[in-house]
Amino acid sequence: MSERRTVGIVGARGHTGAELLRILAGHPGVEVAYAGSRELAGRPAPHVEGLTYGDLGPEEVADLGLSAVLLALPNNVCGPFVAALTAETVIVDISADHRFDADWVYGLTEVNRDKIVGARRIANPGCYATAMQLAVRPFLDILGGAPAVFGVSGYSGAGTAPSPKNDPKRLADNLMPYALAGHTHEREASRHLGRPVRFMPHVHPAFRGLLVTASLPLAAPITADEAKARVVGAYAGEALIEVQDEIPELRDGAGIPGTLIGGVSVSDDGHNVAVVAVEDNLLKGAAVQAVQNLNLALGAPELTAIL
C-alpha cells in the first residue's frame, strides 16, 4: 500500500469501536478520518489526535469519499450505510448482518485469506464463531457427529446497551447461560464449517476474554499425538494462532491479539477429542480480525498495526 488511505468507523463509541481507534491510530498507512457516534458527537475521540466524534448519516458518510468504512454497529442497522457507499469503498461489517450472505467474503482471515485480498465487501466473523471454527477445523475431515461446544465470555461481548448479560451486579459470583439453542454464532459456525455444531454460550463477570471447549466425536479412533499434530499442522506459520500443550484459561485470552489453542485431549477409546481455544472477544473476536481484513483488502501487509 503506497498511499495513505482514509478510513471511517461507524459505531465508534462501542467497545469494538474503541479498540479499532486504538489499533488504527498506530497504522502507518491509514488515517482515521471519521469516527461516528450519535451520543458523543463533538467530543474528542480517543487515541487519534485531532479527531472528534461525528454524527453523519449514510449519504454524508458516503460523501466523505473514504477508502474504507468499518461498520461497528449492532445487528440489523447497517443496511442504509451499505446501500449509500460506493462499490469501490471497502466495507468491513463487524455485525452479523452479512455473515450468511454469499455476495460478501467471509472474513475468517486464516481460512479465507486469498478471497479477502482486494475484496470490497467483507463480513467479519463473530467472536465465538471464530474460536469455534479454529478449534474444530483441524478435525473437520474425520468428524463422526456434531461437535458440542461450551463457551464463556466476558460481559463486553453483550455490548453497551444495558441488559442482564452486561450488568456487573447481576453477574457477580455468577455464570449466566443464554441462547442455548440456535445462537447466531452456532448457525454461523455451522454454515462456514459445512457441518452442524451445537453451542452453549455463557457470560461471566470479567469484562473481556473468551473461551470455548469443543468436544468432537470422531468417525475413527485417533491417538493423542495424532490429534496434537493435526492442530499444530493446521496453524503452522499463522502469527496470530498459538498452539500449546497446556489447557488455556479464559484470562489467558484477554488482551492478546490472536487465538491460543491447547489442552488437546483424546478419550480412552480414541473416538473423542477435546480442544480449548481462548481469545479476546474484542480483539481477535472483533477489532484485530477487522484490521487483518482491512489490511488485506487495501493491499497492506496483513499484520500492520497489529503486531
156: left (phi over 0), alpha (psi -120 to 50) or beta: alpha
Phi, psi (deg, nearest 5) at residue 232: -60, -45
Residue 78: active-site member: no
C-alpha–C-alpha distance, residues 240 and 271, integer Å: 29
210 half-sphere exposure, CB direction, 13 A CA radius: 28
The rounded radius of gyration (Å) of the Cα atoms in the chain is 19
Residue 236 — φ and ψ, nearest 5°? -60, 130
Using alpha carbons, select from 210, 212, 201, 219 the residue that is nearest to residue 139: 219
Q: Could you give the 3-state DSSP secondary structure of residue 191?
A: helix
Which residue in 232, 217, 238 sits closest to 109, CA to CA? 238
Contact 287, 16 (CB under 8 A): yes
Catalytic choice (12, 96, 108, 127)? 127
Q: Which residues are catalytic?
A: 127
